[in-house]
Structure 1
Amino acid sequence: MSYLRFDKTLMTNLEESLPREILRTNRSGAYHCSTIVDCNTRKYHGLLVIPIPELDDENHVLLSSLDETVIQHGAEFNLGLHKYHGDNYSPRGHKYIREFECDKVPTTIYRVGGVVLKKEIIFVHHENRILIRYTLMEAHSKTTLRFRPYLAFRSVRQYTHENDKVNRQYEAVENGIKTCMYAGYPDLYMQFSKSNTFCFTPDWYRGIEYPKEQERGYDFNEDLYVPGYFEMDIEKGESIVFSGAVSPIDPAELNGLFASEVDRRIPRDNFKNCLINAAHQFLNKQHGESYVLAGYPWFKCRARDMFIALPGLMLAINEVEKFETVMDTAVKAIYAFMKGEQTDLKVYEMEHPDVLLWAVWTIQQYDKMVSHDAAKARYGALLKDIMTFLLDGKHPNMTVCENGLIYSDGKEKAITWMNSSVNGHPVIPRTGYIVEFNALWYNALKYVAALLGENNENEFTVRLEQLATRVAHSFIDTFLNEYGYLLDYVDGTMMDWSVRPNMIFTAAFDYSPLDAKQKKAVVDIVTKELLTPKGLRSLSPKSGGYNPNYVGPQLQRDYAYHQGTAWPWLEGFYLEAYLRIYKRSAISFVERQLISYEDEMTRHCIGSIPELFDGNPPFKGRGAVSFAMNVAEILRTLNLLEKYDN
């Protein structure tokens, strides 16, 4: 039995099936995302969603969905499903679903009378091409299939509505057609592995609704254009493959291409393999450069997220070459930033003060998980350049103060990972001496000094060590309070006493200004006030402003984003700190904590981990359906556990 399997009872119950989403990507920025019953509930959902750099920096929904109809004895059974006004769903094709499973590829089994039809979906790696294979498993009489494509040709940030500007022209291609709704878009090629008839009956399907957008306080209604339908007969045991793409293909190749793509997939037959598959989806290769997307379906490559996620997404699963390839692009982006040069690289938010320090941390993990000598050879010069850039005061928003600590201005612009803003101003104006920035700073000083100063002391590494000593004393004096935990930030006489998870990094990093007793005190208060089954809360329930539920319209969610919601990626660092303190005796506790995430494999976006969770029971998943740092830190924690077991 498949690890990710849902039976008829769940699939036909829309309250249970609609919240469960499915995501597939081509590792080059394009994706397919919908619910497991193929009813789109977000404006980001679609069968073929691709970047079109000639238009803008967003993804675009070309093919929203493909409705299938089974025809026997003149009777039509439509397998599609769309939501319309008034909680009306049509044509309610989910009632024919017998089961859904997702081992290597998403597979849906439909039963219509004596007909049993299997549908399998796959995205071709590094090509803007979605494939769907239909196999007629059972039939007692002549069976015909009809396919009706729903087209959008719009940005994921917008909607399409009925208009007279649509280009209704189409051109016949082998076993299909090509069409393009608007100038500037590429042609959409819709082809089948079998010859068919295309019937041109253009029409708009009006008032399709997206309930997830309605929940989030956004517009949620659009019209979709249907140019007509394809029709063909199918025999028992026969497979027919559909291709939706921006380039043509020889139909004779489709069956073989589908089979070869399936062979390349890792089965999602256990918790770790689901996470590995999810990790692969964040890789984004474009124009010869490699990136890590922060999440799906709306995030781009954010520098901080990339550096935090890289060790877990790649090193923890022994994909060292992929790590190095992404770092090659990242290094270009780092130098472009440090030199103040314009760049076409799609790495965003490089200017945030902690980003370069997270780059040091990710190289440090490469050192530990791959090779110390390779880290020094590949990245030693970069590390020295980063530290020199910071020490020389060239960062636009980071000052090395006389006491050795780093100071950053976050009053008017959010500069930390707690980055929610309202009316252009940060909800949490973390500014001055920020606790995790300075934990990263101390760790970077010590690590780079150790790496570059081996065997022969030199003036540069001596300078780093001397500064690290000063930072250690100042860190304790500035952040450690009388209750044994760390202040979140300090700016002059302003001290934030809120109990937040940002202190946990100081206990987790290889180099810390805290002694063993102080680290334990930090871990203990995090355990007591912030730990949940789904990550660390962003704020303690005992602190003012606690708001654990990420629900409602944009403004309401912005105020809740970092005021009590739980984040799984933070727990990775917490569990690392816990293992440092309690060593082998911590293994069973860490394993129990990770088990709670296995439940998520069959919820929200199946096989992945969402962006965040409510901070109170039942700890419901929220935000982006798949989030890179969360997947990465769970994988890195599993890797740490394996090392303790060996």
Structure 2
Amino acid sequence: MAEQTLQLPKANQIHISEYERLISTEWLLSNRRGSFACGTLCGNNTRRYHGLLVGAIDPVKNRTVALSNCQETIITEQGRFNLNYFEFDPPALEKPVVLPSGFKKETGVHFNYTTPQFKMVKSIYLMSDADIVAIEYNFTSVLEKFEFNVRPLAAMRGYHSLVKRQDNFTCEWQEDFLSIKNEKIPNAQILMATDEMSFIEDRQWWHNFFYRIEKKRGFDYTEDLWSPGYYRRTIDGPTRIVLWAGFGDNSLDHRMSGLDVDVIIDDLKLQHKQIISNLKTRDETVQLLALAGEQFIIDKKIEKLKTKSILAGFPWFADWGRDAFISLEGLLLCCGRYEDANSVLLNFAYNADEGMIANFFGDDHTGASYNSIDASLWFIHAAFRYFKASGDNRGFSSRLMPVIRWIIDSYLQGTKFGIKADSDSLITGGSYDTQLTWMDAKFDNVVFTPRNGKAVEVNALWYNAVCNCVDFYKGKDAVLAERFQNLANRIAESFCRCFWYQQGRYLYDCVNGDNKDASVRPNQIFAVSLPYSPLDIEQQKAVVDCVEANLLTSYGLRTLAPGDSKYIGVYRGGPAERDRAYHQGTVWPWLIGAFTEAYLKVNNYSKQSKRIAAERLEPLLDHFANSTCIGSISEVFDGDQPHQPGAAFAQAWSIAEVLRAYLMTHT
């Protein structure tokens, strides 16, 4: 079974630098409901989104940080110490005494502890189909008798918010379960249970937990947590303790009755084996990336129909159309999961409106939003990739091709946000105030990357959509094939005339009337990487050379060349500062997939080009294995060296495109 192991400092070697390394390294478990558990390797929460159980009554809407953490205390004849260390504002006098000596992630996450009194492995497992977490303490070697206490700390609030002391928390027994409720969240509760410990009621508010990352992000950063009491057990020999916590409505007790942690572990292992068996490869890197990709795949319902979707990232994203379609090839098609890929496409197709695919589904009850000019075109690209990978001619023709035709017809005739084909057959749309491309940062009505008009990647996708239709109708419908071929010819001619910047030997990023934006950005790479290019081979090589020289880094492509006056090399600060930097130099790992494909294409997929491209992936693979969030790849990195990671700690298209790039360089 593929797993990731990280060696941590021994208990007698704790140094402030080691503590900082552990508190800045995170872990993540998720399930098919979009719920999750996450934290740092030293057990301290540094984000409002960290928690041992973050669930939802109606997935994936309104996710709730239910169980924030547990304080684990060892009491001996010589005194007491905690296994986890919390940060407060102002700082507490207590300093870390014990830190994990090892960490491993596979079906769960596992922390090794070694003290003079015992050796213990703490494991956390999240059920795949329910918001239920099992926290296992396995004391394998006990050299001295001691008391072990576990105090649950409840937040019971929306995962974007923080809680302060209030009188809304209650607890009561429901047969064998301790029920914790917050009156501000109706019809929801935490249920806790264990057969191996006794419960001591001791209701307390713990004040001013300090979340250092929230402070860096310019948000409120202190919180109060409520505890109903603590669980207690005397440990005098090898002992295995399982503490259960679930989040749900009033029917939760039925779901939690009779749970067996070993059955759950076996179920999680079986799911991993099924994912790996679909790969038909023993390459451990591919296996680990595929398992990481599973974190983002969720179950959804359309009325009574069960479908799949792809979360854009953790800890705060819901499912976004653009992200899902870019991720679909790496997470699903490359992993042999054709049925799931089809289900994702149908999920978004069902919610299409006026010939447009949803940009995102909010994690509240606001429904679908359609403010994207390219999500529908990425849908077409993903649908055709599915068709060619799966060979599902019947299903594609009857269920997906009608939606593709609807999108193309709507773009030709005009649809939402002024999106339409101009007289030159290129797609234009939006206004200065509507951010419709993936470079959509906007704060307090300040638009940082205005790209209304004709965006280069949008029209590269448009050309590919039409060319795919040409190929589809060849041999099936000569009239339609010719109609799409004529349209493709007009688009190609207009594309080169509109976007090719002869003096710079690259493509304009966006054209709006006579205004041609010559900023060197990565969006032009899609005019080479996509299956059909409107450029000749010399132009394709020139684009790749330009992007490589100005934008390529160890962790992906910069969003703007460093020599540009608008370039911002560090993604830091409050919301306004971060949004300003988001697409003005910040590195995005997902772009490495398109760059790798374009680079290999213009180099005829030579052995040397594959070797070079594979070497360029190594820093991202090291990041995946050893830093930020173990087994995940961050959303962004700084444009400047040393390219510190930032934003979401686990991003679907980062994993997907690194996996796709890895396969391109290793086949």
Larger displacement relative to structure 2 (254-263 or 607-616): 254-263
Q: Which segments of 5 or more consecutive residues in structure 1 lack a partner in the other structure?
A: none
Larger displacement relative to structure 2 (277-286 or 440-449): 277-286
Mapped to 2, the partners of 1:472 and 1:171 lie a distance apart of 69
Write the deviation string for residues 290-312 of structure 1: whole angstroms up to 9, x where unpaired. 22111100111111111111111
Mapped to 2, the partners of 1:2 and 1:11 lie a distance apart of 26
Mapped to 1, the partners of 2:172 and 2:189 lie a distance apart of 10
User: Which residue of structure 1 aligns with residue 614 of structure 2?
Assistant: 591
Mapped to 2, the partners of 1:265 and 1:71 lie a distance apart of 39
Is 1:18 the equivalent of 2:31? no
Larger displacement relative to structure 2 (375-384 or 477-486): 375-384
Paired letter, 1:254: D
The CA deviation at 1:107 is 1.0
% identical aligned pairs = 29
Helix, strand or coil for the counterpart of 1:120? Answer: strand
User: Which residue of structure 2 aligns with residue 71 of structure 1?
Assistant: 75
**Inter-CA distance 343–557: structure 2 relative to 1 (3 Å threshold):** closer
- TM (norm. structure 2) is 0.90
**Inter-CA distance 306–594: structure 2 relative to 1 (3 Å threshold):** same
Larger displacement relative to structure 2 (27-36 or 380-389): 380-389
User: Which residue of structure 2 aligns with residue 329 of structure 1?
Assistant: 347
Please list, as runs of the form range in 1=range in 2, the aligned pairs for 1:209-220 lying within 5 A after superposition: 209-220=210-221
Q: Is the 8 A contact 2:330 2:660 kept in 1?
A: yes
User: Which residue of structure 2 aligns with residue 476 of structure 1?
Assistant: 496
Helix, strand or coil for the counterpart of 1:171? Answer: strand
Is 1:254 the equivalent of 2:260? yes
Please list, as runs of the form range in 1=range in 2, the aligned pairs for 1:19-38 lying within 5 A after superposition: 19-38=24-43
Write the deviation string for residues 321-362 of structure 1: whole angstroms up to 9, x where unpaired. 21122222111012576599x999997443412111111100
User: Which residue of structure 1 aligns with residue 280 of structure 2?
Assistant: none
The CA deviation at 1:419 is 0.8
Is 1:414 the equivalent of 2:416? no
Paired letter, 2:321: A
Q: Is the 8 A contact 2:355 2:406 kept in 1?
A: no
Paired letter, 1:300: A
Helix, strand or coil for the counterpart of 1:476? Answer: helix
Larger displacement relative to structure 2 (344-353 or 273-282): 344-353
Please list, as runs of the form range in 1=range in 2, the aligned pairs for 1:591-610 lying within 5 A after superposition: 591-600=614-623, 601-610=625-634
The CA deviation at 1:234 is 4.2
Paired letter, 2:215: Q
Aligned residue pair count: 636
Paired letter, 1:226: S
Larger displacement relative to structure 2 (390-399 or 552-561): 390-399
Helix, strand or coil for the counterpart of 1:276? Answer: helix
Please list, as runs of the form range in 1=range in 2, the aligned pairs for 1:478-517 lying within 5 A after superposition: 478-482=498-502, 483-517=504-538
Mapped to 2, the partners of 1:629 and 1:186 lie a distance apart of 33
Mapped to 1, the partners of 2:107 and 2:356 lie a distance apart of 43
**Inter-CA distance 574–2: structure 2 relative to 1 (3 Å threshold):** closer
Q: Is the 8 A contact 1:3 1:270 kept in 2?
A: no
User: Which residue of structure 1 aligns with residue 279 of structure 2?
Assistant: none
Mapped to 2, the partners of 1:343 and 1:82 lie a distance apart of 35
User: Which residue of structure 1 aligns with residue 85 of structure 2?
Assistant: 81
User: Which residue of structure 2 aligns with residue 180 of structure 1?
Assistant: 181
Larger displacement relative to structure 2 (433-442 or 3-12): 3-12
Mapped to 2, the partners of 1:625 and 1:74 lie a distance apart of 40
**Inter-CA distance 624–453: structure 2 relative to 1 (3 Å threshold):** same
- TM (norm. structure 1) is 0.93
Paired letter, 1:231: R
User: Which residue of structure 2 aligns with residue 204 of structure 1?
Assistant: 205
Paired letter, 2:558: R
Paired letter, 1:587: K
Mapped to 1, the partners of 2:95 and 2:62 lie a distance apart of 31
Mapped to 2, the partners of 1:513 and 1:411 lie a distance apart of 27
Paired letter, 1:316: C
Q: Is the 8 A contact 1:303 1:347 kept in 2?
A: no
User: Which residue of structure 2 aligns with residue 354 of structure 1?
Assistant: 374
Helix, strand or coil for the counterpart of 1:8? Answer: coil
Mapped to 2, the partners of 1:238 and 1:336 lie a distance apart of 61
Match of 2:426 among 398, 401, 405: 405
User: Which residue of structure 2 aligns with residue 107 of structure 1?
Assistant: 110
Mapped to 2, the partners of 1:190 and 1:106 lie a distance apart of 20
Mapped to 1, the partners of 2:288 and 2:234 lie a distance apart of 36
Mapped to 2, the partners of 1:17 and 1:531 lie a distance apart of 30
**Inter-CA distance 261–324: structure 2 relative to 1 (3 Å threshold):** same
Helix, strand or coil for the counterpart of 1:29? Answer: coil
Helix, strand or coil for the counterpart of 2:72? Answer: strand
User: Which residue of structure 1 aligns with residue 656 of structure 2?
Assistant: 632
Is 1:189 the equivalent of 2:191? yes
Mapped to 2, the partners of 1:242 and 1:209 lie a distance apart of 26
Larger displacement relative to structure 2 (492-501 or 394-403): 394-403
Write the deviation string for residues 344-393 of structure 1: whole angstroms up to 9, x where unpaired. 99974434121111111001211332226354455222222222222232
Write the deviation string for residues 239-258 of structure 1: whole angstroms up to 9, x where unpaired. 22111103235665333334
Mapped to 2, the partners of 1:21 and 1:264 lie a distance apart of 25
Match of 2:269 among 263, 268, 274: 263
Helix, strand or coil for the counterpart of 1:84? Answer: coil
Match of 2:645 among 599, 612, 621: 621
Mapped to 2, the partners of 1:58 and 1:489 lie a distance apart of 37
Helix, strand or coil for the counterpart of 2:334? Answer: helix
**Inter-CA distance 193–316: structure 2 relative to 1 (3 Å threshold):** farther
Alpha-carbon RMSD: 2.5
The CA deviation at 1:72 is 3.7
Paired letter, 2:612: F
Mapped to 2, the partners of 1:60 and 1:275 lie a distance apart of 28
Is 1:62 the equivalent of 2:35? no
Write the deviation string for residues 570-589 of structure 1: whole angstroms up to 9, x where unpaired. 11101101111111231101
Paired letter, 1:548: G
Paired letter, 1:363: A
Mapped to 1, the partners of 2:490 and 2:162 lie a distance apart of 56
Is 1:466 the equivalent of 2:486? yes
Write the deviation string for residues 414-466 of structure 1: whole angstroms up to 9, x where unpaired. 111001102124211101111111111111111112112334302x3322211
**Inter-CA distance 91–162: structure 2 relative to 1 (3 Å threshold):** farther
Paired letter, 2:237: K
Paired letter, 1:20: T
Mapped to 2, the partners of 1:18 and 1:128 lie a distance apart of 25
Q: Which segments of 5 or more consecutive residues in structure 2 lack a partner in the other structure?
A: 277-282
Q: Is the 8 A contact 1:530 1:537 kept in 2?
A: yes
Please list, as runs of the form range in 1=range in 2, the aligned pairs for 1:224-373 lying within 5 A after superposition: 224-234=225-235, 236-246=237-247, 247-248=252-253, 253-264=259-270, 266=272, 270-287=284-301, 288-334=306-352, 338=356, 348-371=368-391, 373=393
Paired letter, 2:71: D
The CA deviation at 1:262 is 4.6
Is 1:134 the equivalent of 2:113? no
Mapped to 2, the partners of 1:81 and 1:336 lie a distance apart of 53
Q: Is the 8 A contact 1:498 1:544 kept in 2?
A: no
User: Which residue of structure 2 aligns with residue 539 of structure 1?
Assistant: 560
**Inter-CA distance 382–427: structure 2 relative to 1 (3 Å threshold):** same
Q: Is the 8 A contact 1:285 1:291 kept in 2?
A: yes
Helix, strand or coil for the counterpart of 2:134? Answer: strand
User: Which residue of structure 1 aligns with residue 119 of structure 2?
Assistant: 116
Q: Is the 8 A contact 2:500 2:508 kept in 1?
A: yes
Paired letter, 2:626: T
